[in-house]
Amino acid sequence: MNQKIYWMRRLELSKIRDLYILLYKKGPLKYSEIFIQGEKDGIFLREDGSPLAKTPRYHYLNNAYKFGLLLKTADGYQAKPRPGTPMVAFRNERFGKALNKNEKAAFRQIIIGNEDCRRAFLRMFMNDDDFTLSEFLENGVPVYATSAAVEMNNHIIRTKLYKGYSGREMALRSEKEKQAVEWGLKMMLFQCQLCDEVYLDVKQQVIYPLKQENLPGFKEMMKVFLAKNTPVKDWNFIPVNELIFQLAPEFRSTKDYVKIKLFVEMRKKYTDYVKFSEASKGLPKEKQIVLDQRFMDNYMKIGNSWKTHLIVNRKLWDIVKL
């Protein structure tokens, strides 16, 4: 694959929006002028107030340009006109704030409409190479990832292997591909809520399109839960993280939606047949908790205790009619 398409980096979409607003108000600006003004306006500052290094500042400008938000002229960079584009959602009063619902929707449209993003990763979800946002959300399938050994330049390397629609596979073979897909584009997909991910470990990961509406209700989710899980004894201890891995991609919902709308509701409606386990053995080690929040997103915290297992009595399968 042409390495030029791998320009995405781990950036905050809210800062890309702020860069657009800056150039909409004050552009065109030269390369150096953008960095000076961007630092004054807080775009190119870290949380502690220190300035960003030159490389991330470059990537913010380059990603905004590659996304089609900016024009490059003899006088410098300037924002593209707003009318008729998703950028109409990027308004001056939003500068410096977290992305709102409309801005996330705008970025979903921008990312799906970008040919490089589709070629680099998004086509893994689809049967067709070209698709609209609505088609992606309606027809996109979950993409599973695992650690795998692949051959590259007569050497065996260990890398991330993605498996998507109808046998489509993609291995990240270069550091540039890993930076762009694993830490760049994927993180942007999560920020604008185009996709979500369930990460159990390096061998069990799934990323899937998120529905924005028409999510399943409790009865529908309950039916799927019972069909996919078979009782083997009177009380069945089912790991919460494995259920999240199983059900969230099926429902195209966030992990929290499954926890609240299914697990908590099961406990409320079937108190005598559904319980939560507070055993700590199902949790990852404290070091992993600190290093990677992705592990903890697959568990439930109610009050001060972490719930690691759903304990379900086999009678529930008889009580609830499929």
Overall pTM surpassing 0.85 (yes/no): yes
In terms of Cα–Cα distance, which of 13, 8, 14, 22 is closest to 77? 22
**pLDDT number for residue 133:** 96
pLDDT digits (tens, 9 = 90+) for 95-109: 999 999 999 999 999
pLDDT digits (tens, 9 = 90+) for 192-234: 999 999 988 878 899 999 998 899 999 999 999 999 999 999 9
In terms of Cα–Cα distance, which of 26, 6, 217, 250 is closest to 117? 6
**pLDDT number for residue 285:** 54
Q: For residues 126 and 290, what is the distance between their CA atoms, to the nearest angstrom?
A: 35
pLDDT band at 297; cut points 50, 70, 90: confident
pLDDT band at 279; cut points 50, 70, 90: low
pLDDT band at 151; cut points 50, 70, 90: confident
**pLDDT number for residue 280:** 55
Identify the residue whose tokens are 């009318």: 83
pLDDT band at 291; cut points 50, 70, 90: very low
Q: How many residues does the chain have?
A: 322
Count of CB atoms situated within 10 Å of the CB of 96:
13
Longest C-alpha distance within the chain, in Å?
A: 74
In terms of Cα–Cα distance, which of 96, 68, 200, 83 is closest to 145? 200
What residues does each domain of the chain span?
A: 3-97, 117-209, 218-319
pLDDT band at 284; cut points 50, 70, 90: low
| Residue 110: pLDDT over 80 | yes
| Residue 28 preceded by cis peptide, ω within 30 | yes
Mean pLDDT across the chain:
91
